[in-house]
Amino acid sequence: MTKKRSEGGFAARISAKYDLQPDMMLDGCHLELRGRSSLAVGGCRGIVEYSPIEITLRLRDSILKIAGEHLSCDSYTCGEVLISGRINILGFDDTKR
Amino acid sequence: MKLFAFLFGCRKISVPSDRGADLLNICMKYRYPYYEMGAYEDRTYIVCSPVIARRVCIKCGEMDIEAESGRLCGVPKYIGRFFSRPGLVLGLLIAVIMLVQVQDYVWDIRVSGYEGVDENEVIDGLYACGFYRGCSLDGFCADDVENLFLRRSENIGWISVNMKGTVAYVEVQKKNSPPKKDTLLPANVVAKRDGIILEALTYSGLRMVEKGEIVREGQLLISGAYGEKTPGLHVTRAAGRVSARTFRKISVEIPLEYEEKVESGRVFYEKYMIFFGNTIKVFSNSGNLGSSCDKIVEGKLYGFLGSSLPIGERVEKYVEYETVKRTRSREAAEALAKEELERQLSELCVEEIVSRSDAVDFRDGKCVVECDLTCIEDIAMTLEFTVNYEK
């Protein structure tokens, strides 16, 4: 089990072997940034903090922090978050909250 | 506001800023879609449909989140306002009913091809036949209206009524009457007033007077029957022109005391609405109407884009007056009498006024102006007669 976990497990191996996108097999997150004004985050498990200057999202195994100005959550359904505004910083934190 | 949100209505739900993330998590967890989100001051808000807003508020309450629901926006808000006014709803309802019902009525009558024929005469004629602006088209038959109109009209020889929607297009042609034939009845020419013959010109018949002869009113001037009874009497329609010197006397009286109407200042109205040929009284303050009133009636049909509508108004105005006795001066009475005399003289049908003498007198409280005239005029007057044949 320890070996599997270190290698990422069966799904990770399949994904690596067949060159599949990690979010498809590993239930990971998917980020799509368009310029600095729009960010789509897939695989979001919840919003930890929200303010117009900082949004904190909980992902499967990490925390995503988005800092910027006039940030807003345009849609938020089925784990898909669409954030708009002026995005300045994107950061991941492995500390689970 | 997005179009969808505007059309179907939306509500703003706001929560304190520190609970904004919870609000969004509720939306995600329960799959509540929202149109818009944002933040102001110390609050975070979402804009969603009214149904979702109610659900979000319930969920927020369960999670101890202080949520404020804003006012309803968009079309439902206006619909709500509209239905809260029964007058508007009733008006709309009446308008819809009218739109449906008015298709069965004549809205306008347009007459064309009426050279030499008065349009109003045609419309009045159609009215007499029961076809007018505002009449019902139920059971309408153009042939019946046309035939009835032609039977009653003296001037119109042809008419066509075509309905296009609610407008009647009427085409008419004037009747081409054959030239009026001279009547064949025999006639004499007699004097229509006393006079001295100056000249007698006979077109037909036998002249019975000579120049310088004095004739009396009704005297035979040109005879339509002449000749011997045996072998046969000639009968014709006598005609001619008989110029004579006549004497006329015109008298004009103007009383020095007269009654004048003085408006008391009280005016009463009766207002009616003309609606598709029906007259409906809508206002009246003439309940205590006095006996001495002048009645003034004004009516008009409303127009729209140059066309008359079968809807209009009629106002009957009653102006109350009092009769006051007044006295005019002799000079004023004389001036009035002379004015009236001149008016009567201008209406005289004479060839020439040879001489004239006026006399003014005041008697019995009146100013009397008498005018003696000597005129030259045609005194010939045709008088028809019948011939009884002996068996």
ipTM of the complex: 0.71
Q: Could you give the CA distance from residue B22 to residue B18 in angstroms, rounded to a whole number?
A: 8
Is residue A25 predicted with pLDDT exceeding 80?
no
Residues of B within 8 A of A46 (CB-CB) are 21, 25, 28
Tell me if residue B275 falls in helix, strand or coil: strand
Kindly state whether B87 is in contact with chain A, defined as any CB-CB distance less than 8 angstroms. Answer: no
Question: From the CA of B34, how many Å to the nearest CA of chain A?
Answer: 7
Kindly state whether B25 is in contact with chain A, defined as any CB-CB distance less than 8 angstroms. Answer: yes
- pLDDT category, A15, cuts 50, 70, 90? confident
CB B37 within 8 A of CB B46: yes
Is residue A89 predicted with pLDDT exceeding 90?
yes
Q: Could you give the CA distance from residue B293 to residue A6 in angstroms, rounded to a whole number?
A: 114
Mean pLDDT comparison of A20-34, A59-73, B172-186, highest-scoring range: A59-73
Sequential pLDDT tens for chain B (391 residues): 578 888 888 999 999 988 888 888 898 888 888 888 888 888 889 999 999 999 999 999 998 999 998 888 888 888 888 888 888 889 999 998 878 877 788 888 888 886 777 788 888 888 888 888 888 888 888 888 889 888 888 888 888 988 888 888 988 888 776 666 556 788 999 999 999 999 889 998 888 888 899 999 999 999 988 877 677 778 888 899 999 999 989 999 999 898 888 888 888 888 998 887 778 888 887 776 767 888 899 888 888 777 777 788 889 988 888 888 889 888 999 999 999 999 988 888 888 888 888 898 888 888 999 999 999 999 999 988 887 766 5
CB neighbour list of residue A27: distance below 8 Å, 6 or more residues apart: A43, A60
- CA-nearest of B55, B91, B54, B82 to B70 is B54
Is residue A6 predicted with pLDDT exceeding 50?
no
Q: Would the CA dihedral through B55, B57, B59, B62 be positive or negative? A: negative
Q: Could you give the CA distance from residue A38 to residue A86 in angstroms, rounded to a whole number?
A: 8
Token representation of residue B7: 């059309």
Share of chain B above pLDDT 90, in %: 20
pLDDT at A68: 94
Q: CB B49: neighbour CB atoms within 10 A?
A: 20
Segments of B105-176 assigned E as strands = 108-112, 156-164, 167-174
Cβ within 8 Å of B, A 8-47: 44, 46-47
CB neighbour list of residue B311: distance below 8 Å, 6 or more residues apart: B134, B273, B274, B275, B276, B301, B302
Sheet holding B352-363, edge to edge: B214-215, B195-204, B239-255, B366-378, B352-363
CB B138 within 8 A of CB B126: no
pLDDT at A65: 93
> B interface mutation test: which of A45, A50, A78, A84 has the most B CBs within 10 A?
A50
CB A57 within 8 A of CB A44: yes
- pLDDT category, A64, cuts 50, 70, 90? very high
Tell the residue number behind the tokens 């003289």, with chain if given. B345
Token representation of residue B21: 């993330």
CB A55 within 8 A of CB A71: yes
Q: Could you give the CA distance from residue B162 to residue B140 in angstroms, rounded to a whole number?
A: 11
DSSP string, B94-122: HHHHHHHHGGGB--EEEEES-TTS-HHHH
Kindly state whether A76 is in contact with chain B, defined as any CB-CB distance less than 8 angstroms. Answer: yes
DSSP state of B331: H
pLDDT at A2: 43
Residue A62: phi, psi to the nearest 5?
Answer: -160, 180
Residue A52: phi, psi to the nearest 5?
Answer: -60, -15
Q: How much is the pTM?
A: 0.43
- pLDDT category, A1, cuts 50, 70, 90? very low
Question: From the CA of A57, how many Å to the nearest CA of chain B?
Answer: 9
Q: Could you give the CA distance from residue B230 to residue B390 in angstroms, rounded to a whole number?
A: 13
SS (H, E, C) A72-93: EEEEEECCEEEEEEEEEEEEEE
Q: Are the Cβ atoms of B21 and A47 closer than 8 angstroms? A: yes
Q: Are the Cβ atoms of B28 and A51 closer than 8 angstroms? A: no
CB B272 within 8 A of CB B280: yes
- pLDDT category, A7, cuts 50, 70, 90? low
SS (H, E, C) B284-306: ECCCCCCCCEEEEEEEEEEEECC
> Could you say which of B25, B37, B39 has the minimum Cβ distance to residue A46?
B25
Query: How many angstroms separate the Cα of B345 from the Cα of each of B193, B217, B219, B362?
Result: 17, 21, 26, 21
Q: Could you give the CA distance from residue B333 to residue B148 in angstroms, rounded to a whole number?
A: 55
- CA-nearest of B133, B242, B146, B229 to B188 is B242
Cα angle, residue A18 at apex, residues A17 and A24 outer, rounded to 5°: 110
Kindly state whether B24 is in contact with chain A, defined as any CB-CB distance less than 8 angstroms. Answer: yes
